[in-house]
Amino acid sequence: MKKILSVALSTAMAFSMFANVIFAADANLSDEQKFSALKEAGVMTGLPDGSSSLTKPLTRAELAKIIVKAIDLQPVTGVASYKDKNYTANHWAAPFIEAATQAGIMNGKDATAKLFDPTGNVTVQELAKVLVTALKLEVPSSGDNTADSWAKGYVAAAVEKGYLPAGINYQANATRSQAVVAAYAIYQARQIPTVSSYTVSEAGKVVEFKLSNNETVKVTLEKALEPNKETEVKFTHNGHEYTHKVTYATTVAQKVVSVKADNLKEVVVTFDGTLDPETAGNQDNYVIKDKAFRDATLSDDKSSVTLLLDNDSTSNYLSNQKEIELEIKGVKNGDGTKTFSQSIKFTPSDVTAPTVKEVTGLGTKAFKIKFSEPIDPSTAQTSSAYKVDGKAIGASVKFGFPDTVIVQTNLPVGEHTVAVSGVADFSGLKVAPVDNKFTVAEDTAAPEVVSAKTKDLKEVTVEFNESIKSVSEAYVNSTSNRASRIVIEDTKVRLFFNSPLNYSENTVTLKGVSDYSDNKADRDVKVTPTLDTVRPVISESELKLNSNGHYVAKIRFSKEVDPKSALDVENYVLKNSEGKIPDIAGIDRDGHPQLKPSFENTKNRTVLVDLGTSLKSEKYTLTITGVKDTAYVGNVLAPTTIDLDVAKAQNGSIDRVWYGKAEDGKQYVYVEFNKELATSGDGNAKSAAKYTLLKRANNEDKYTIVGQLTDNNDDVDLLTAKAVRIKTDKKLVEEGYTYAIKASYIANSEGKFLQQNSSYELVQEFADSEFITLKSVKATSRTVVEAEFNSKIDNVNDSDFSINGYRASRVSLSSDGKTLTFTLDDDHKLPADIKGATLTTVAQGSIGTSNEYGTKIQAQTAATIKDEIKPEVVRDGLKIKRVDSATTATYEIGLQLTEAVDFNTDWNGVDLKQVYDLFEVEAKEGQNKTYSGTVTDVRYASTSSFTGVIIKVEFKLNGSNVSDLGSATNTTLRVKVKDTNEKSKLIVDKTGNKNPLKGDSTSNYINNIGLLTE
């Protein structure tokens, strides 16, 4: 089709008054000018003498040509299907009449006689029907116009689109001028506009394109755009394909950049953009095992958070140079489009001694020293640590958590120096004794309030403009609600109340607020509470064996929890690996523990659930529901299920034993435990006497003792906190025999001896290879493959792996380090049934995938990938076939699937109607007629032409039988598979895994749906 741009330009030049106006955008051309433009474009040619003759009636032949040209239909040559006199294939209008007829746009005047009447005139309402049919416009059921009843809807649709004027005589003959106006509008609408701008929303999932004709096209992407990266987006609009480069520009956080601890009391988490202040500043959204945070402070640029460990115990600080894990849950980015939920390992590194950051005089009776980092209060609270003007002083020293001391001593007005010695941080590094100058001045003003904020409804923090020495009492709204506890931290006063604040504005009164110059005043401050609306989550859990031989599930919540709900046995349900309630002592018939849970300490954050003594050496699950936090309006834990592995509960176990070459003809034996080990005392893991070599014939069950691996303690090295390496000259490989290690009376880092089946002697066979080997591999979708290995992986080299001969586009490692997830791009995705799909590993020399001990993965031939891919509905994959019926609209609908499916043979007699209920079928004709479908049969087919589900459906309209679905050109069909199939698994694939058909839906116009054949 000719491009309208050239037509527009030529038309504009022909009429100087429209110079520089593009045809597609010009709405002020006269009918004659529009005719000239259409003539130039080849849509109209005029009469034989070349004139437009716009006032003359329009013939049926002329209309056929105009409409075919306007909508760019292909003329049909060599055909003459009508029997009008002088009408042959050589008739000038025959190609256009035949094209319009085959497209269903125009029909003959006399179907029986097969007459078209090419020279007959066209009425305005007939013109309306042809236009609406050609453009497939929606036809309203009625119209407020003077057209004949059969034409009212067509006229209304044509008028609404601007193809015909309103209020004219629609029974009159149409003029060529009216045809020109309609053809011009149609032709104009069919031009290809360009993208003039775009906006990105919904975290990169939606792009709205603004076109040059002012149309807006909304495109929802299957995969969100990668932030701040130019990406090509393809879409189709009005039959035209567009490709446009788009950048999802955002300054909100998308990932964690780093986690650092330059001192042992503070952790700094840095993101690549801005964060939501409410969730980022909530310390409950961050967890380090066995540690508690006092607060989380968001930086001024809102891109980093400083976490301060609480001061509630002397051991609540990090270990220097020892790797630790921070878990982030519930932190949202700046626009709330992403919620972070991940664990990050980092190593605290405090190599810098604290320094005096600032010294401030607090009147003539005290001065304040602020250090560069949190300091150990035990080193800072003696007056001997401070010399003023070179002399020792007698003073009272008050510690202000976390980095401040206030020294109370009388000083004259003027300049002074203070030297600090012996004050240390939590890694033991001490401040250098450098003189620091400060000025003392008279202070006669009482403290003033700077700000106040709440933590839920029972805690208020009031900040003052200077350091506070004391507060005599505090209450909110009235003296009947006094603060039960007052905590002073330098310029901040924390108030705790037993009774809640009002939801609206409150007045907090502090009596006798005194500074260190003994200036005193009463102060009031208004505050409106911020409610705690964050649910508690389970931040960590483990199964332990206590000193009484009871299995105890230790569950740590992200925040303090309400004792009534947390210690209620009804909120805990234990199930075995088969998903059933175990019939064992200590658990009732509903799966609840018979002993009441307890808190591990007074913080009400860690719950100990006693599961008795009878758990078998297998895996269980514990589901926790109904637990609330301590917020005034309690937030309830979402139902959560944790895994409990009894085999690893007895204070630890051996994870893996393997061997490798050493020097001098000897070998190394590596023993990896799942707990950190003791390195002194009776349970010292470095004692050579604790490791015995065993062997057994492969056809026998019992081991015989070969002897100690070594008698020399120097041959036992602690490789990591959880693993030892032992040098030995013992024979470790012999055909027909299996070797094992017995590790006896080894303690974990808490001093508790490791146990295996109630024995302190742990036995573990050598791994089949010194290499890391593949335990299992499965595909969870056509683009995602998960591989589990027999050892934790520390370093991953992507090139070590191929799936069906291709490398994954992305490889990620699980938090426990034992599972790799491979993501394939669409060009290399697996077949739906993944028959023959394999994962191949390749050893890569010095840079290969390895664990923290340097042990590499084993090269092996292709490992078969287990199929856990759920069959899915193929988009736009509907088929349909009418089933003969005199009274009802009965059809067979083929729902194409990605792979063959079948009934689940494990139902054991489930009624077939349950399968029928899985499908929702609906047909819709236009906007006003909706046909409800009732499924009467379901069967499956897998042939060369069709794979999927065939559903027999009877359609009704408003509960009444109908004989047909109506106009195929205007009726859509929708079929949905309900999500309940995921749970009931009534329809599954034909693999041995019985993956359930995934709930989904598809729809299409019936005239675009293929014919069902089997």
- DSSP of 3-70: -HHHHHHHHHHHSGGGTT--GGG-----HHHHHHHHHHHTS---STTS---TTSBPBHHHHHHHHHHH
Q: What is the pLDDT of residue 530?
A: 87
Could you give the CA distance from residue 504 to residue 249 in angstroms, rounded to a whole number?
39
What are residue 266's DSSP bridge partners? 308
CB neighbour list of residue 744: distance below 8 Å, 6 or more residues apart: 690, 691, 692, 760, 761, 762
Tell me, yes or no, if the pTM score tops 0.95: no
Which segments in the chain show pLDDT lower than 50? Answer: 1-26
How far is residue 803 from each of residues 837, 860, 865, measured CA to CA in Å?
7, 13, 9
How far is residue 902 from each of residues 301, 866, 919, 949, 986, measured CA to CA in Å?
57, 19, 15, 9, 9
Q: What is the pLDDT of residue 910?
A: 57
Backbone angles phi, psi at 96, to 5 degrees: -80, -40
Structure tokens at 222: 């299957």
H or E stretch at 125: helix 124-135
How far is residue 920 from each of residues 91, 876, 901, 1011, measured CA to CA in Å?
52, 16, 18, 20
Could you give the CA distance from residue 868 to residue 644 in angstroms, rounded to a whole number?
24
Could you give the CA distance from residue 524 to residue 528 in angstroms, rounded to a whole number?
14
**In whole angstroms, what separates CA 874 from the centre of its chain?**
24
Q: What is the pLDDT of residue 550?
A: 86
Could you give the CA distance from residue 980 to residue 985 in angstroms, rounded to a whole number?
8
Q: What is the pLDDT of residue 909?
A: 56
Could you give the CA distance from residue 157 to residue 144 in angstroms, rounded to a whole number?
11
Q: What is the pLDDT of residue 15?
A: 27
DSSP state, residue 181: H
Q: What is the pLDDT of residue 535?
A: 85
- Residue listed under structure tokens 């330009």: 9
Helices 60-70, 176-189: axis angle to 10 degrees equals 10
Could you give the CA distance from residue 186 to residue 206 in angstroms, rounded to a whole number?
30
**Cβ count within 10 A of residue 836:** 11
Q: What is the pLDDT of residue 403?
A: 93
Residue 305 CA neighbour count, 13 Å, CB half: 30
Structure tokens at 28: 């002020």
**107 within 8 A of 174, measured Cβ to Cβ:** no
Q: What is the pLDDT of residue 20?
A: 27
**Which 3-state string (H, E, C) describes 704-760?**
EEEEECCCCHHHEEEEECCEEEEEECCCCCCCCEEEEEEEECCEECCCCECCECCEC
H or E stretch at 968: none
How far is residue 353 from each of residues 263, 266, 350, 356, measured CA to CA in Å?
9, 15, 8, 10
DSSP state, residue 673: E
Q: What is the pLDDT of residue 520?
A: 95
